[in-house]
């Protein structure tokens, strides 16, 4: 999998690539992230990417031509999708993450200002995706969220057992729907934040009865969309 991100703030992705599981997976070559600066695809002296909206309105709109050049310059792999982030897009879900993880390449269009000239959505991208019903300042955080959720489905990125466990939960008569996590606990069994107050771990988890534990986990977890 190769993630191509086009943004006017490429530096946001530097620390993102230098920590934790993402850093390890990139070093191992399990996937790659290539960040492109939209300003490199401008032609004017000031490298401007935005202009005033036709018809009036507040703020600035990203121009179509730098996006056109940026997107046309990219080498496309066979199974590739170009995603435009917008709060008006289809809401991102775990099922979408599974679909995306089967591709060879995802290209992310990260908007800023009041958004992007609609002709980019109409002619240059495959899908419009939203992270949820709220408005961000830009598409970069959305791109990072999608990279995290897709890349952890790539074998080897987060370690095998967990990956398999999730797949198992997914397959068990759940109509192929994704399975979201049950509550988890670790030591100590009882935590006493102050005298007389005891925060206990559910006793079923300490019972050693694997059948009961599995049942509890299934009940506590949530099937996506419910």
Footprint of ligand SAH (CB under 6 A)? 85-87, 110-112, 114-116, 130-132, 134-136, 138-139, 142
Q: How far is the CB of 36 from ligand SAH (least distance, A)?
A: 15
Nearer to ligand SAH, 61 or 153 (CB): 61
**From CA 194, how far away is CA 81, in angstroms rounded?**
53
Q: How far is the CB of 93 from ligand SAH (least distance, A)?
A: 13
Nearer to ligand SAH, 134 or 190 (CB): 134
Q: How far is the CB of 118 from ligand SAH (least distance, A)?
A: 11
Give the pairing type, strands 61-62 and 80-91: unpaired
**From CA 19, how far away is CA 15, in angstroms rounded?**
7
Nearer to ligand SAH, 138 or 221 (CB): 138
**From CA 199, how far away is CA 205, in angstroms rounded?**
14
Q: Are residues 149 and 94 in contact, defined by beta-carbon separation less than 8 angstroms? A: yes
* Cα-based distances in Å from 77 to 26, 80, 130, 190, 191: 19, 6, 24, 53, 52
Q: Are residues 89 and 130 in contact, defined by beta-carbon separation less than 8 angstroms? A: yes
Nearer to ligand SAH, 86 or 105 (CB): 86
Q: How far is the CB of 62 from ligand SAH (least distance, A)?
A: 7
């Amino acid at each position: 999998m190769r993630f191509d991100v086009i943004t006017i703030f490429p530096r946001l992705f530097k620390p993102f690539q230098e920590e934790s599981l993402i850093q390890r997976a990139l070093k191992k070559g399990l996937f790659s992230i290539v960040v492109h600066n939209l300003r490199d695809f401008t032609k004017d002296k000031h490298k401007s990417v935005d202009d005033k909206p036709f018809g009036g309105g507040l703020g600035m709109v990203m121009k179509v031509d730098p996006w056109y050049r940026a997107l046309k310059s990219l080498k496309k792999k066979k199974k590739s999708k170009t995603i435009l982030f917008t709060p008006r897009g289809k809401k991102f879900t775990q099922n979408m993450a599974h679909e995306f993880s089967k591709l060879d390449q995802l290209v992310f269009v990260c908007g800023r200002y009041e958004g992007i000239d609609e002709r980019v959505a109409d002619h240059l991208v495959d899908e419009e995706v939203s992270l949820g019903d709220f408005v961000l300042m830009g598409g970069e955080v959305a791109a990072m969220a999608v990279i995290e959720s897709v890349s952890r489905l790539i074998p080897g990125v987060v370690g095998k057992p967990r990956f398999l466990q999730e797949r198992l939960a997914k397959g068990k008569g759940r109509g192929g729907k994704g399975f979201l996590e049950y509550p988890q606990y670790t030591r100590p069994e009882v935590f006493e934040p102050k005298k007389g107050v005891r925060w206990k771990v559910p006793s079923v988890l300490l019972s050693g009865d694997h059948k009961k534990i599995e049942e509890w986990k299934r009940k506590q977890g949530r099937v996506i969309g419910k």
